[in-house]
Amino acid sequence: MDSGYGYGGSMEKGNMDQKDTMSADQKNAMDAKSGSNEAVADAPVAVISSYKGGMAPVEKMAEPAMAKGMTHMVTVGGDAGLVFSPSSVMAAPGDMVEFTFMSTNHTLTQSTFPQPCVKMQGGADSGFLPNPNNTISPPPTYMFQVMDTKPTWWYCKQKKPTSHCGKGMTFSINPTADKSQEMFMQMAMQQNGTAAAAGATGAMVMGSSSSMMMPTSTVLAQVTPPASTSTPAAAPPVVSPPPAAAPAASPPPAVVSPDQPQNNAAAAPASPPAMAPGSSVVTGSGSMVNGQCGCSCLCGVAAFPAGAGMGMVGGLSGAVPA
């Protein structure tokens, strides 16, 4: 198990071989204890202490490099689930950020905005600070001092039984409108294949110099080609087959007006209205076999004659023969 830092005692500045084997946090701590703040000043945060909870000693990593500001308290995991509570803070240089680790086993690991779930090279990392079922009292803590106002990005690197970062367990300090905590969390979920399950309502659109969240409908509108406006090609004319010799074709269904009373006698077909120039009408055909009727007609691409079909109905009244 990656349990965090093993460094807890003082070291001499001149022992370079031993310093080469230390983590970035421990190198910063060594420089601070020896009176050199150069490494700490270049880092966005300076780790102050790490505490595994219970009877374990508090590991002092460094003294504050500047006057202390306010202390921001953040809860990691616990009853709220796979989240940092709050998920972001706005901190001034000198402010302290203290993380309290609750169930079950989490980390605070520094990453970058484009790759939320990948540890930043040389970034801070608390290591795993387990607290099974919140049974460790006092709980584990991790504290650092903010050195400037630049945004910093963090996540939990636990992957058992599932990726905590992929579920959105991310944290940020001093996020901006162009690079917000919500964007950071959504990218973490998308890159780990869980955005759909989490019900993400936006899509991340990455640019060369900035990123922004856009509604999914807007993104789809940008990538969906417009519908074709061209007129479809005219269908070839359909040639009606010659009428069959048997059975005898029944006359075409009568067409009657909706307000005309219907009876069992076939009504005389109404005279069709005058046809528009260039249009044509082809007589249809129909048949009745064993109580089933079938008919066919030809519809061309020309416009119907003015008024044709308006308010008209067709068919034969009466019951279908058994």
Sign of CA dihedral 293, 298, 301, 306: negative
Q: Write the pLDDT tens digit of every residue in 124-170.
A: 999 999 999 999 999 999 999 999 999 999 999 999 999 999 999 99
Q: How remote is the C-alpha of 100 from its chain's centroid? A: 29
Mean pLDDT of 223-244: 54
Angle at 38 between CA 35 and CA 40, to 5 degrees: 90
Q: Provide the pairing of β-strand 170-173 with 109-111.
A: unpaired
CB 112 within 8 Å of CB 187 = no
Percent of the chain with pLDDT over 90: 45
| Mean pLDDT, all residues of the chain | 72
The phi and psi torsions of 99 (rounded to 5 degrees) equal -105, 130
Q: How many C-beta atoms surround the C-beta of residue 274 within 10 A?
A: 10
The whole-number pLDDT of residue 170 equals: 98
Mean pLDDT of 79-99: 97
Exposure of 52 in the CB half-sphere (CA atoms within 13 A): 14
Mean pLDDT of 31-46: 54
The whole-number pLDDT of residue 106 equals: 98
Give the span between the Cα atoms of 104 and 101, in whole angstroms.
Answer: 8
Percent of the chain with pLDDT over 70: 47
Give the span between the Cα atoms of 240 and 283, in whole angstroms.
Answer: 9
Q: Write the pLDDT tens digit of every residue in 58-83.
A: 999 999 999 999 999 999 999 999 99
pLDDT range class, residue 43, cuts 50, 70, 90:
confident
Give the span between the Cα atoms of 300 and 297, in whole angstroms.
Answer: 10
> Which run of H or of E encompasses 129?
strand 129-130
Residue 212 has pLDDT above 90, yes or no: no
The whole-number pLDDT of residue 192 equals: 79
Q: Which of 118-127, 152-161, 186-195 has the lowest mean pLDDT?
A: 186-195
Give the span between the Cα atoms of 196 and 200, in whole angstroms.
Answer: 6
Residue 32 has pLDDT above 50, yes or no: no
Which is more confidently placed, 9 or 136?
136
The whole-number pLDDT of residue 55 equals: 96
Mean pLDDT of 225-249: 55
pLDDT range class, residue 284, cuts 50, 70, 90:
low
Burial class (CB in 10 A: 0-12, 13-18, 19+), 109: buried
